[in-house]
Amino acid sequence: MTSQRTSGAPPRRAASRAVRALRDRFEGPVLTPDDDGYDAARLGWNRTIDSRPAVVAVAATTADVRAAVRVARDHDLPVAVQSTGHGTVAAADGALLLHTGHLKALHVDPLRRTATVGPGVVWDEVNRAALPYGLAPLSGRCASVGATGYTLGGGTGWLSRRFGYAADSVLGAQVVTADGRSVHAGPGEHPDLFWALRGGGGSFGVVTSLEFRLYPAPVTWGGQSFYPVERAADVFAAYRDWAAGEPDELNSAVLVLRLPPSPAVPEPLRGRQVLAVRAFHLGHEASGRRALAPLLDAAGPALHDGFAVRPFPLASHATNGPDVPPIALRQYVEFFHHLPADAIDAAVDTAAAPDSPLAFVELRHWQGAISRPPADHGPAGARDVPFSVMAVAPYQAAGPAPVDAHVDRLAQRLAPHATDEAFLNLLTDPRRTSDAFTAKDYERLGGVKADWDPDNVFHLHHTIPPVTPARRTRSTS
């Protein structure tokens, strides 16, 4: 691995010089720890990461992005990039934090069925912009997640079983590279960089514009329906068996969750542990219910049936539930080729325990078009595994220990059955970045990194270490 450049100047002196240089050439706000707005700009969505960057540069233009990268290089400051903050996995202490959330250009071309977005655009904005044309993006489940960061990490959403990962739909990207240049990456321009961006994450540059396909979505049906939690073990097992025949037009999951005591929740269910069936269908209600019938029969009478025909943005919101505001939490995700009875028991028992601090445990079926990528697909992984189990628990006033102990017990029970694969968007541990790729793709990504960022300027996230040509030759000889 090529080491990060270091400077003989003391860090504070280097940061002070960088701030002065930025303010001379930067249009957007340049914030230091002494400035109002610094705290709001530095924090990501997951508040377990409490970054203390030396400076936050809030870009107003693409020229600002180029200036920030060049200033950071000139003054030997590491660079971290953040737009909505959902993808933050490492602290940016002492770094130049480049905030791109104000770069919100958005254009929909209904004739070409494409959208072009800046890094600050969130999925709800794309969903609504495409709706008048009967189109939809391969958007994420959470409406407040940034479209660009999500797509660079692979991107799996409600339409992915029908059309593949969001990364598979990318047509081109404008990228500010580690030396401060702005280049276009596409099938005919810098194809190696274009390949890496489609699932390899943000390790290769700052994407300032992303173009991707949109897809017809004239009718969508879905939502969440809730059932007694006592049905969870039977329904999880039924879901495992039913999923093999799930049509690609359907995207689903089953969960044990504790509903919040919110007015948005039907009164009898507020604060209650329940079983949920989550389903999103590209099509009409009749075909959606017909496909789900075996699963709904196993669940029995619903406490609340939340399925309905809705426009795509509303169907996406109803199926996922309200977006969670910034919070400190623990997230666990693993993938499985097979789910024996003891694995299902582990998931249900852990989630449904009376003292469980978990917000939910979800069993999700993947595959479909995800497992049939186009021939020129990028490195996004987890294409061959049918199931994931995700557990999410907010940290509480008592501290992280009770939550961590509960999640660790679940992880220990599921470990014998897990594949050790990962999906970059859902991976919170940067030490496991390589698990999100095949060995061949990870090595190729290291070569692309060496070509475009040999000094590893962009390393404060899921980084891909640069692999020099000599090391590449030795590893393949």
Per residue in 33-63, pLDDT (tens digit) is: 999 999 999 999 999 999 999 999 999 999 9
| Backbone phi, psi, residue 179, to 5° | -100, 10
191 or 477: whose pLDDT is higher? 191
Average pLDDT for residues 301-311, to the nearest whole number?
97
Q: Is residue 6 predicted with pLDDT exceeding 70?
A: no
Q: Is residue 469 predicted with pLDDT exceeding 80?
A: no
Beta strands 250-258; 215-216: pairing state: unpaired
Per-residue pLDDT tens for 332-344? 999 999 999 999 9
Beta strands 273-282; 387-394: pairing state: unpaired
Region for 33 from its dihedrals, namely left if φ exceeds 0, alpha if ψ lies in -120 to 50, beta otherwise: alpha
Please state, in angstroms and rounded to a whole number, the distance separating the CA atoms of residues 381 and 399.
34
Q: What angle do CA 380, 382, 386 make, to 5 degrees?
A: 145
Average pLDDT for residues 362-387, to the nearest whole number?
97
Confidence of residue 354 (pLDDT cuts 50, 70, 90): confident
Q: Is residue 473 predicted with pLDDT exceeding 50?
A: no
What are the beta bridge partners of residue 363?
A: 254, 389
Classify domain 106-216 at the CATH class level. Answer: alpha beta
Task: Give the right CATH number for 220-427 from 3.40.50.720, 3.30.420.10, 3.40.710.10, 3.40.462.20.
Answer: 3.40.462.20
Confidence of residue 249 (pLDDT cuts 50, 70, 90): very high
Q: What is the pLDDT of residue 11?
A: 66
Q: What is the pLDDT of residue 1?
A: 35
Q: What is the pLDDT of residue 472?
A: 53
pLDDT, mean over the chain: 93
Q: What is the pLDDT of residue 10?
A: 45
Q: What is the pLDDT of residue 409?
A: 95
Q: What is the pLDDT of residue 476?
A: 44
- From the list 210, 207, 212, 211, the residue with the least C-alpha distance to 98 is 207
Distances (CA, A) of 288 to 143, 220, 429: 23, 9, 36
CA 382 to chain centre: 13
Please state, in angstroms and rounded to a whole number, the distance separating the CA atoms of residues 39 and 178.
26
Confidence of residue 311 (pLDDT cuts 50, 70, 90): very high
Helix intervals (H) in 8-57: 11-25, 38-42
Confidence of residue 475 (pLDDT cuts 50, 70, 90): very low
End-to-end CA distance of the chain: 19
Confidence of residue 399 (pLDDT cuts 50, 70, 90): confident
3-class secondary-structure state, position 336: strand
pTM (predicted TM-score): 0.94
Going from N- to C-terminal start, the domains of the chain cover: 106-216, 220-427
Confidence of residue 477 (pLDDT cuts 50, 70, 90): very low
Confidence of residue 320 (pLDDT cuts 50, 70, 90): very high
Per-residue pLDDT tens for 193-219? 999 999 999 999 999 999 999 999 999
Residue type, 382: A
Q: What is the pLDDT of residue 365?
A: 98
- From the list 4, 439, 468, 451, the residue with the least C-alpha distance to 192 is 451
Q: Is residue 350 predicted with pLDDT exceeding 50?
A: yes
Please answer whether residues 21 and 76 qualify as being in contact, where contact means their C-beta atoms are separated by less than 8 angstroms.
no
